[in-house]
Chains A and B, each alone.
Chain A
Amino acid sequence: MTEPMVRIRGLRKSFGTKEVLCGIDMDVQAGSVMCIIGPSGSGKSTLLSCINHLERIDGGRMWVGGELVGYRERAGKLYELPERKVAKMRARIGMVFQQFNLFPHMTALQNIIEAPIRVKRQPPAEARAKAMVLLERVGLADRAAAFPSQLSGGQQQRVAIARALAMEPQLMLFDEPTSALDPELVGEVLAVMRDLAATGMTMMVVTHELSFAREVGDDLVFMADGLIMERGSPRTVLANPREPRTREFLSRVL
């Protein structure tokens, strides 16, 4: 098998004395979609935040695209990288948040071009042209000049996805991208994500949308209490869960 896009080994993370991730092992192959489900507080968001080093880890190791995340290894010790190096690595990983987190003082277009111009040093004209292509792709070409407060939740989330894609990432992390949306707006965001998966983007998706996991996901893990309880192909796990915890969770979500 080729080198996976994401390789996680023995990942541990605590907040204070509370251990939130208790040894996670995971591989995400390039071009595949990994779905993560699990009850509230099981550590799903924390896992995603560790992958782009928004959170420091307390044990284990992670590689994205073959590169160790957040640390440099020397003589059997891990040294935390300076902020500048970490930022460089984050620029190659896109992240989409439950609460969108668009920059409210910028228009949709400005939200998208900000990082390409400031981080990648793209010429503004080029960044703008690429942003318009992305807005087209998420179906919002006509809302380029709108501020986030003038957009619906579904539109904001689609702009947020375009903003992440503008950095041309090799990996996209989605943390419950549709959980804050009104039910009738969920579909438009999932459609954009489905198209993205079809282009071969490597994606890790925390979601409660089981039909999305079933149709788009290549792998699925069920997390509880900071551990991966069960993993497999989404169809198998969702249809025939082996673990009682998974069964109990699925019966509550469905």
Chain B
Amino acid sequence: MQVIPLRRPWTWAASVLVVLIAAGVAWSVATNPAFGWPVVAEYLFHEQILAGLIRTLELTVTAMLLGLVLGTALAIMRLSDNKLLSTLSWLYIWFFRSVPVLVQLIFWYNFGALYAHITLAIPWGPVLYSASTNSVITPLTAALAGLGLAQAAYTAEVIRAGILSVPSGQTRAAKALGMGPATIFIRIVFPQAMRVIIPPVGNEVISMVKGTSLVSVIAMADLLYTAQLIYARTYETIPLLIVASLWYLAVVSILSIAQHALERHYGRGA
């Protein structure tokens, strides 16, 4: 017998309409000289823009890595039976989620004004290490500290929720097989927690790509700030913002594909 799926004529009609509208918008954008497409083409691979793009990527990757590693540690501490560890983790998360990232960035940037020297020493004993703060905390390290330490606080909560989503029977079964706490976490709990962790962390990575533009307050030129610097000089505001947006679209597209691949990897067996 032939099986005929339900026909959906209105979906077809609506699709055609959407395509027509989209084509119209694209045509109007492409032919409107005010968008300055020649300028967009000129700046899209401009070396200043590319430098800004690289800075954005560099900050996103390092700050996110810092956030993930520290966030995982914080989540494990928060869930620990050890009262000291869980309280410390709670305090960290409370503090770094409360103070605006902008303030944290400016604070780290001006750390040299608060403490001129960073010294590592044994109390009443020899000095192991000493340096002027400004040589340790460059604008780059200030940016990484500001973005990464705050990110860790958010990531910690996401990872904690992920860990809690794994049924306790999994840990019991793993324990009963003689696995130690580290093996249980790495092999059993974490891979299952990842299913819950990846979508929100994917969101946070994408926010971070754009959120790195905050570092312009400490005179670091990321992608968006570079575009702003250029149009402040040339007054080609819209074309340069389009240049920045095209790059953001490209980066976020690649990240979305990566997220999809990760979700498939950790979703196996579901």
Chain A positions within 8 Å of B, measured between CB atoms, are: 52, 54, 83-84, 87-95, 97, 99, 101-107, 114-115, 118-119, 147-149, 160, 163-164, 167
A93 to B270 Cα, complex, angstroms: 29
Complex interface residues of chain B between 185 and 217 (CB less than 8 A to chain A)? 187-188, 191-192
**A163 / chain B contacts, CB cutoff of 8 Å:** 177
Asked if A105 and B178 make an inter-chain contact with CB atoms under 8 angstroms apart, the answer reads: no
Given contacts A101-B169, A104-B270, contact A90 B176 (CB under 8 A): yes
Interface SS, B side: helix
**B178 / chain A contacts, CB cutoff of 8 Å:** 87-92, 115, 119, 167
**In-complex Cβ contact of B177 among A84, A99, A148, A164 (8 A):** A164
**In-complex Cβ contact of B268 among A83, A90, A118, A147 (8 A):** A147
**A164 / chain B contacts, CB cutoff of 8 Å:** 176-177
Task: List 7 tightest A-B contacts by C-beta distance, closest first.
Answer: A91-B178, A147-B269, A101-B173, A115-B177, A95-B176, A101-B169, A119-B178
Tell me which of B176, B180, B268 has the highest count of chain A C-beta atoms within 10 A of its own C-beta: B176
Asked if A114 and B187 make an inter-chain contact with CB atoms under 8 angstroms apart, the answer reads: yes
Asked if B176 and A52 make an inter-chain contact with CB atoms under 8 angstroms apart, the answer reads: yes
**A102 / chain B contacts, CB cutoff of 8 Å:** 173
A149 to B178 Cα, complex, angstroms: 24
Asked if B180 and A105 make an inter-chain contact with CB atoms under 8 angstroms apart, the answer reads: no
Q: Report the count of interface residues on B (CB-CB < 8 A).
A: 22
Asked if B107 is at the interface (CB within 8 A of a chain A CB), the reply is no
**A149 / chain B contacts, CB cutoff of 8 Å:** 269-270
Q: Kindly provide the distance from the CB of B162 to the nearest chain A CB, expressed in whole angstroms.
A: 13
A149 to B267 Cα, complex, angstroms: 12
A147 to B174 Cα, complex, angstroms: 17
Asked if A87 and B269 make an inter-chain contact with CB atoms under 8 angstroms apart, the answer reads: no
Complex interface residues of chain B between 13 and 54 (CB less than 8 A to chain A)? none
**A104 / chain B contacts, CB cutoff of 8 Å:** 192, 269-270
**B180 / chain A contacts, CB cutoff of 8 Å:** 83-84, 87, 119
**In-complex Cβ contact of B175 among A84, A87, A92, A148 (8 A):** A87
> Considering only CB atoms, which chain B residue lies closest to A95 in the complex?
B176
**B57 / chain A contacts, CB cutoff of 8 Å:** none
Chain B positions within 8 Å of A, measured between CB atoms, are: 167, 169-170, 172-181, 183, 187-188, 191-192, 266, 268-270
Asked if B169 and A99 make an inter-chain contact with CB atoms under 8 angstroms apart, the answer reads: yes
Q: Kindly provide the distance from the CB of B216 to the nearest chain A CB, expressed in whole angstroms.
A: 42
Asked if B191 and A105 make an inter-chain contact with CB atoms under 8 angstroms apart, the answer reads: yes
Q: Kindly provide the distance from the CB of A166 to the nearest chain B CB, expressed in whole angstroms.
A: 9
> Considering only CB atoms, which chain A residue lies closest to B195 in the complex?
A105
Q: Kindly provide the distance from the CB of B182 to the nearest chain A CB, expressed in whole angstroms.
A: 10
Q: Kindly provide the distance from the CB of B18 to the nearest chain A CB, expressed in whole angstroms.
A: 37
Asked if B187 and A118 make an inter-chain contact with CB atoms under 8 angstroms apart, the answer reads: yes
**B174 / chain A contacts, CB cutoff of 8 Å:** 103, 115
**In-complex Cβ contact of A105 among B167, B175, B269 (8 A):** B269
Asked if B175 and A90 make an inter-chain contact with CB atoms under 8 angstroms apart, the answer reads: yes
**B170 / chain A contacts, CB cutoff of 8 Å:** 101, 103
Q: Could you list 12 further interchain pairs (A-B, Cβ under 8 angstroms) beyond the known A83-B180, A91-B178, A115-B179?
A: A54-B176, A93-B176, A94-B176, A101-B170, A102-B173, A103-B174, A103-B192, A104-B192, A104-B269, A107-B269, A119-B178, A119-B179
**B191 / chain A contacts, CB cutoff of 8 Å:** 105
**A115 / chain B contacts, CB cutoff of 8 Å:** 174, 177-179
**B167 / chain A contacts, CB cutoff of 8 Å:** 101
Q: Kindly provide the distance from the CB of B141 to the nearest chain A CB, expressed in whole angstroms.
A: 38
Asked if A105 and B179 make an inter-chain contact with CB atoms under 8 angstroms apart, the answer reads: no
Q: Kindly provide the distance from the CB of A205 to the nearest chain B CB, expressed in whole angstroms.
A: 15
Q: Kindly provide the distance from the CB of A106 to the nearest chain B CB, expressed in whole angstroms.
A: 7
Cross-chain pairs A/B with CB under 8 angstroms, 22 sampled: A54-B175, A84-B180, A87-B180, A88-B178, A90-B175, A91-B178, A92-B178, A93-B176, A94-B176, A95-B176, A97-B169, A97-B172, A99-B169, A101-B167, A101-B172, A103-B174, A105-B192, A105-B268, A118-B179, A119-B177, A147-B269, A164-B177
A147 to B268 Cα, complex, angstroms: 8
Asked if B183 and A118 make an inter-chain contact with CB atoms under 8 angstroms apart, the answer reads: yes
A87 to B180 Cα, complex, angstroms: 6
Tell me which of A92, A104, A105, A167 has the highest count of chain B C-beta atoms within 10 A of its own C-beta: A105
Q: Kindly provide the distance from the CB of A141 to the nearest chain B CB, expressed in whole angstroms.
A: 20
Asked if A106 and B269 make an inter-chain contact with CB atoms under 8 angstroms apart, the answer reads: yes
**B181 / chain A contacts, CB cutoff of 8 Å:** 83
A88 to B176 Cα, complex, angstroms: 10
Q: Kindly provide the distance from the CB of B198 to the nearest chain A CB, expressed in whole angstroms.
A: 13
**In-complex Cβ contact of A90 among B177, B187, B188, B270 (8 A):** B177
> Considering only CB atoms, which chain A residue lies closest to B267 in the complex?
A105
> Considering only CB atoms, which chain B residue lies closest to A119 in the complex?
B178
